[in-house]
Amino acid sequence: MSRFRKRANGQPGWLFPFVVTAIIILSVLPLGRLAVTGVASALAGGAQGVLTDPTLWRPVYNTVVTSFFGMVAAVLLGGGFALLLTLFDIRGKRVLGFLFMLPTMIPPQVTALSWISMMGPSSTLLKAIGLAPPLGSPQPLYSIGGIAFLFGVQNAALVYLSLRAGLLALPRDAVEAARLSGASSFQVLKDIILPLSLPGFAAGAAIAFVSCVGNFGIPAILGIPASIYTLPTLIYQKFAAFDAGTFADISVLSGLIAVLCVLGLLVESRVLRGRDYRVIGLSGQIAVFRLGRFRLAAELLLWLTIGIILFLPLIALVASSFAPAYGVTLTPATVTLHAYEEILLRQAVTRTAFVNSIGLSLTTAFGLLLVSVLMGYFLVRGGSRFAAVITALAEMPYALPGVVLAVAFILLFAAPLPLINVSIYGTIWIILLAYLSSFLAVSLKPVTSAFRQVDPSLEEAARLSGANFGRRMRDILVPLVAPAAGASVILVFLIACNELTVSALLWSAGTQTLGVAIYNLDDSGSFNLASALSVLVVIMVIAMMLLLEAMGSRLPKGVVPWRS
Amino acid sequence: MAQLILKNISKRFDGTGRAAVENVTLTVREGGLLALLGPSGCGKTTVLRMIAGFEAPTGGTIQIGERCLASDDTMEAPEHRNMAMVFQSYALWPHMSVAENVGYPLKVRRLGTEEQRSRVASALAAVRLDAYADRRPADLSGGQRQRVALARCLVTDPDVVLLDEPLANLDRHLRQEMEETFREFHQRSGATMIYVTHDQAEAMALATDVAVMSEGRLLQVATPEEIYARPEGRLVGSLIGQGAILSLPSPVGHYRLFDRATMQRMLEGGAGVAVDVLVRPQDVEIAAGGIAAQVLSVLFEGERYAVKLSLPDGQVVRAFSRVSVQVGESVPAILHHGWRL
Q: Which pLDDT tens digit goes with each residue over A77-132?
A: 999 999 898 888 888 888 998 999 888 888 898 999 889 888 877 777 777 777 77
Cβ-contact A431, A62 below 8 angstroms: no
Q: Looking at the predicted structure, is the pLDDT value of residue B30 above 60?
A: yes
In terms of CA atoms, which chain A residue is nearest residue B106?
A465
The radius of gyration computed from the CA coordinates of chain B, to the nearest angstrom, equals 24
User: pLDDT tens-digit profile of B295-319?
Assistant: 999 999 888 999 999 988 888 999 9
Strand order of the β-sheet with B305-310 is B316-321, B305-310, B284-300, B330-335
CA nearest B183: which of B69, B316, B35? B35
- Cβ separation of A457 and B78 shorter than 8 Å? no
Rounded to whole angstroms, the maximal C-alpha distance in chain B is 76
Per-residue pLDDT, A375:
95
Q: Looking at the predicted structure, is the pLDDT value of residue A2 above 50?
A: no
Per-residue pLDDT, A6:
41
| Interacting residues of A291 by C-beta distance below 8 A, sequence separation 6+ | A88, A89, A90, A298
SS3 assignment for A253-283: HHHHHHHHHHHHHHHHHHHHCCCCCCCCCCE
Per-residue pLDDT, B161:
92
Per-residue pLDDT, A276:
57
User: Residue B213: helix, strand or coil by DSSP?
Assistant: strand
- Cβ separation of A480 and B54 shorter than 8 Å? no
User: pLDDT tens-digit profile of B75-124?
Assistant: 888 888 889 999 988 899 988 999 999 999 999 998 889 999 999 999 99
Average pLDDT on B187-201 reads 88
Tell me which residues of chain B, numbers 99 to 118, contact chain A at a CB-CB cutoff of 8 Å: 104-105, 108-109
CA nearest B267: which of B331, B328, B334? B334
Q: Looking at the predicted structure, is the pLDDT value of residue A347 above 50?
A: yes
pTM over 0.90: no
Q: Confirm whether the ipTM is greater than 0.85.
A: no
Q: Out of A10, A455, A475, name the one closest to residue B78 (CB).
A: A10
Average pLDDT on A26-37 reads 89
Superfamily assignment of A59-328 in CATH?
MetI-like (1.10.3720.10)
- Cβ separation of A7 and B75 shorter than 8 Å? yes
User: pLDDT tens-digit profile of B228-268?
Assistant: 999 988 888 888 888 889 888 877 677 788 888 888 888 87
Secondary structure (DSSP) of A292-321: GGGHHHHHHHHHHHHIIIIIHHHHHHHHHH
Q: What is the pLDDT of chain B when averaged over all its residues?
A: 88
Reported residue count of chain B is: 341
CA nearest B163: which of B203, B218, B131? B203
In terms of CA atoms, which chain B residue is nearest residue A5?
B56
User: pLDDT tens-digit profile of A289-317?
Assistant: 778 888 899 999 999 999 999 999 999 88
Higher pLDDT, B192 or A56: B192
Average pLDDT on A143-162 reads 92
Per-residue pLDDT, A420:
82
Per-residue pLDDT, A192:
82
Classify residue A280 by burial, with Cβ atoms within 10 Å: 0-12, 13-18, 19+.
exposed
- Cβ separation of A463 and B79 shorter than 8 Å? yes
Tell me which residues of chain B, numbers 136 to 155, contact chain A at a CB-CB cutoff of 8 Å: 152
Q: Looking at the predicted structure, is the pLDDT value of residue A3 above 50?
A: no
Q: Looking at the predicted structure, is the pLDDT value of residue A1 above 50?
A: no
Q: How many percent of chain B have pLDDT more than 90?
A: 36
Q: Out of B56, B82, B89, name the one closest to residue A457 (CB).
A: B89
Mean pLDDT check: name the lowest of A185-189, A527-531, B155-159: A185-189
Q: How far is CA A368 from CA A19, A161, A480, B224, in A?
A: 12, 25, 18, 57
Per-residue pLDDT, A287:
62
pLDDT confidence tier of residue B196, bands split at 50, 70 and 90: very high
CA nearest B271: which of B248, B296, B238, B288? B248
Classify residue A420 by burial, with Cβ atoms within 10 Å: 0-12, 13-18, 19+.
exposed
Q: Out of B53, B85, B92, name the one closest to residue A8 (CB).
A: B53
- Cβ separation of B54 and A8 shorter than 8 Å? yes
> Which of chain B's residues have a Cβ under 8 Å away from the Cβ of A7?
56, 75, 77
Distance between CA atoms of A458 and A481, rounded to whole angstroms? Answer: 12
CA nearest B8: which of B42, B59, B75, B73? B59
Q: Where in chain A is the domain with CATH 1.10.3720.10?
A: 1-54+337-564, 59-328
CA nearest A70: which of A145, A176, A132, A163? A145
Per-residue pLDDT, A186:
81
Q: What is the pLDDT of chain A when averaged over all its residues?
A: 85
Higher pLDDT, B251 or B19: B19
Average pLDDT on A28-33 reads 91
> Which of chain B's residues have a Cβ under 8 Å away from the Cβ of A466?
79-80, 82, 105, 108-109, 156
Q: Out of A4, A455, A476, name the one closest to residue B56 (CB).
A: A4
Superfamily assignment of A1-54+337-564 in CATH?
MetI-like (1.10.3720.10)
> How far does the CA of residue A424 sit from the closest CA of chain B (Å)?
43
User: Residue B275: helix, strand or coil by DSSP?
Assistant: strand
Looking at the complex, does the CB of residue B174 fall below 8 Å from at least one CB of chain A? no
User: Residue B20: helix, strand or coil by DSSP?
Assistant: coil
> How far does the CA of residue A550 sit from the closest CA of chain B (Å)?
20
> How far does the CA of residue B54 sit from the closest CA of chain A (Å)?
6
Backbone phi, psi, residue A400, to 5°:
-75, 145
